Amino acid sequence: MAEEVKMTVCGLCVWHCPMEVKLSDGRVVSVESKGFKGCPRSLTSPELLYHPDRLNYPLKRVGERGDNKWQRITWEQALDEIAEKLKDIRDKHGPEAVCISVGGDNHCSGEYLTRFEYLFGTPNLMSHGRVCLMPTMLTSLIISGWVIPWPIIRPETRCFLIVGANPSMAAWRLWRRLRKAKDEGLKLIVIDPRLTDAARLADVWLQPRPGTDAALLLGMANVIVNEGLYDRDFVDKWCYGWDRFVERVNEYPPEKVEEITWVPADKIREAARLYAMTKPGICFEAMGIEHARNSVPAMQMTLILPAITGNLDVPGANLLLEPHPRIRLAADIEGSEFISPQQKRKAIGGEKYRMFSWDMWDRVGAEYKKLTGRPLSYYYLGGVGHPPSMWRAITTGKPYPIKGLMTICQNPLLNFANAKLVYQALKKVEFSVNMDIFMTSACQLADYVLPAAGHLEKSTMGHGGNMSPLVEAGAKVIGPLYERKDEYYLYRELGLRLGQEEYWPWKTLEEAFDYRLEPMGLTFEEFVKEKGGYGFDNPWLRHRKFDEPGFRFGTPTGKFELYSTLMEEIGYDPLPGYNEAPRTPVSDPERAKEFPLYLLSGPRARYHYHSQFHQIESFRKRYPEPIVQINPEKARELGIGDGDWVWIETPLARVKFKCVYFDGIDPRVVSAEHGWWYPSEPGEEPSLHGLWRSNINAVVDDDLDDCCDPQSGAWTFREQLCKVYKAED
């Protein structure tokens, strides 16, 4: 029996941990994460690799969409026919009539996707990135010119402020480091509507009304400013718009903020003082505040608080990231120069949500290049096409028709709000291609379904772009099995068929990685060889860059902009503020009479990653049912017992969840998990693998005016209203 051990990078979530893989006679028998020992997701890798329901061959629809009738075809036939159809759409309607939707950490080659996109000529790439980290990155670039990253806890770190994140479920490596630091004396402040594990560990827990984080953070800033707890030297030298910022925060005294947020004024003062006086400290948000109508002002505040308190770019605090100095960045590959300014301005949603327009990205990119000498990657800012607007363009033909849709490693029916509208769009679009590892609900509505290689079947090179200076790479350990392919193969082969030959000199993904690593004097094989298939390079950051001669922030003023000149330039409030969302009990009491409860949707479960892993039998046994957390007092008032099945209903639809009593949530709020479907159930309509039973996105609205952030276009998962009642069997 031939046994061997290989190293690679895990691709099953955003953390990309190093992974040890054991093989016996060429078959993967076990894995072990070296980033988070015992990670349940990584342990399922063999089951995922050999799962009997994996997509193994290209398929062409032979029945009606939703009939689950397919014909197996060759890759050559699939590529030829797909390319011909894309060309036909481009010739008749323009390249902008094709939209590309991408998601999932199984997807490993984003810069090559955008290369294909720009060469084809469409500005319409969309992803879940609009509500997943990218708004924070873009906000950071707009007000500082730098990328201020996810936290790096160092021995110096003395305080940690979490806003809308639950690392015990979503970021295990961070959670492990955070608990260790807490044992060593770290002070922890948590802002969350739920009593999460982090909130239980906290020195101060603030429990706000959903969607009011911007007001709460402005209230903390009010205390910091008026009690003189800010860093006067940094503010005087490096902050633009201080006087106008002070005027704004004075509109949010703690007592007023208490009325808005439900958080007692004394708790606001306590948290503000602890954060400002316990240095160095980190302010960390991860998507929770990106899911609300006031998301951009809240994100501004999570960046402003470190700046005004002296917690920016010092050891143990929030850092200013520089791009990796010794590789070709994603921006050097993606080829944004291939698409004309005229085409860029056709991006669906860019005119309404101008923060995520091509014009803003070009403006920010120009400042970034002046600052670093390097280009800024557009892919890592989450795509320009606005998903709620895109679904409407497909169904209505306005502002122009979208005729073709390519979906890569994503199930839009589970990833985006207003799932019934997404369904209508997937049924109506003239031509649709999906590439994925399993037959998803969305795949069932496509014309062609292509088998994607999984994380063990393809090489990976993560980060190394503008978001992070590190380069982390892993070689494939097996296969790909059957006729599975990596996504790069799809982009290049379609590109060759669409007249892009000269722009695809790299025949394989590994050759493309060779080109990116060339400035280091290494090939991809050489880079990963030292550690048996896993390579890592992380030039440590300089601190206190603002003390260096010639330093500037990458903004028009050269300073950290508390008052954003770029936001003002595109017609938005240049200062953070708070405006009551249109559909709350405060703004719409009539709606609240029928739908009295706030719905939090999107909490993570340890055994799933968004909509992934529902096929894994071991996970189904451990976590078999979709959970809604309800305060016991409210549940008993509604006649609902612990463990009862309930309906969660909004004006859009209703879905079925299992009630779990949870006293760590306000009686006016319920919290339901996202990403639920039932892959073992029939694929054909009306089931679509149990899509409609417990898919919380079927009841979440994405109305362009009421339910999307007016600046970023992010749709809300935090402050929509619902009613809950017992489901009678």
pLDDT, tens digit, 9 for 90 and up, residues 219-266: 999 999 999 999 999 999 999 999 999 999 999 999 999 999 999 999
Among the residue ranges 162-171, 173-182, 505-514, the one predicted with the least confidence is: 162-171
Torsions phi, psi of 49, nearest 5?
-65, -40
Q: Hey, what domains does the chain have and what are their CATH numbers?
A: 3-49 (2.20.25), 59-128+327-469+480-519 (3.40.50.740), 150-318 (3.40.228.10), 589-726 (2.40.40.20)
DSSP string, 283-315: EEE-STGGGSTTHHHHHHHHHHHHHHTT-BSST
**pLDDT over threshold 80, residue 172:** no
645-649/654-661 β-pairing: antiparallel
Work out the angle between the directed axes of helices 75-93 and 487-497 (0-180°, nearest 10). 60
Intra-chain end-to-end CA distance of the chain, in Å: 54
Distance CA 98, CA 656 (A): 35
Q: How many CB atoms lie within 10 A of CB 590?
A: 7
Alpha-carbon separation of residue 306 from 229, 230, 364, 461, 514 (angstroms): 12, 10, 21, 31, 38
CA angle 709, 399, 433 (to 5 degrees): 90
pLDDT at 492: 97
Residue at 129: amino acid letter: G
Distance CA 189, CA 351 (A): 38
Q: For 549-574, what is each residue's pLDDT tens digit?
A: 999 999 999 999 999 999 999 999 99
Q: Who's near 620: CB < 8 A, 6+ residues apart?
A: 614
CB 25 within 8 A of CB 415: no
For 247, how many CA atoms within 13 A lie in the half-sphere containing its CB? 7
CB 442 within 8 A of CB 409: no
For 135, how many CA atoms within 13 A lie in the half-sphere containing its CB? 34
**Is residue 631 helix, strand or coil?**
coil
Token pair belonging to 394: 């497909």
Q: Give 107's pLDDT tier (boundaries 50, 70, 90).
A: low
Among the residue ranges 162-171, 456-465, 573-582, 658-667, the one predicted with the least confidence is: 456-465
Alpha-carbon separation of residue 474 from 11, 240, 457, 484, 635 (angstroms): 10, 43, 11, 18, 48
Which DSSP category does 648 fall into? E
Q: What is the pTM assigned to this prediction?
A: 0.95
CB 697 within 8 A of CB 419: yes
239-240/560-561 β-pairing: parallel
Q: Give 617's pLDDT tier (boundaries 50, 70, 90).
A: confident
